[in-house]
Structure 1
Amino acid sequence: MKKAGLVLLAIGVLITIFNGVNFVTREKVVDIGSLEISADKNHSVNWSPYLGVVLIVLGGGAYLLAGKKS
């Protein structure tokens, strides 16, 4: 339980610091015989920093509760 609490705590800190992730995919636009034209498409995944705070609280609570039981 302590390890799970530490993992949640670390993920919460990262989510609070980084508010989103951007990545690029390549798509085929035209494919006619031997002619292929592709384009890069940008995607972004954003989340609320409140989610990170909630995970920090849950992870810290799980870590502290697991420490008292041992």
Structure 2
Amino acid sequence: MKQIGIVIMILGLGLTLFTAITFFTREKVVDLGIVEITRNQPHYLNWSPFVGMAVMVIGGFMIYLAKKR
């Protein structure tokens, strides 16, 4: 349980430091037989740094419970 708590705390730290992810999907614009025109459509996934802090608190609580036993 202690190892899981450490992994959750590291995940929370990553969520706190990196508060956005950008990824791209390919979208077909024109399709004229053998001619095909596509473009990359960006998508943004944002979250608050407080989410990462809450995840770190949960991980710390799990470590605390493991030490208490």
Query: With structure 1 as the length reference, what TM-score do the two structures score?
Result: 0.90
User: Structure 1, unaligned stretches of length 5 or more?
Assistant: none
> Unpaired runs of 5+ in structure 2?
none
Structure 1 residue runs of 4 or more that deviate by more than 2 Å after TM superposition: none
Structure 1 residue aligned with 2:67: 67
Report the equivalent of 1:57: 57
- Aligned residue number for residue 3 of structure 2: 3
CA offsets, 1:27-66, max 9 Å, x none? Answer: 1111121110001111110011111010111101101211
Aligned to 1:16: 16
> What RMSD over aligned residues (CA atoms) do the two structures have, in Å?
1.0
Name the residue aligned to 2:35: 35
| Matched length | 69
Q: Kindly, what percent of the aligned residue pairs are identical? A: 43
Scaled by the length of structure 2, what TM-score is found?
0.91
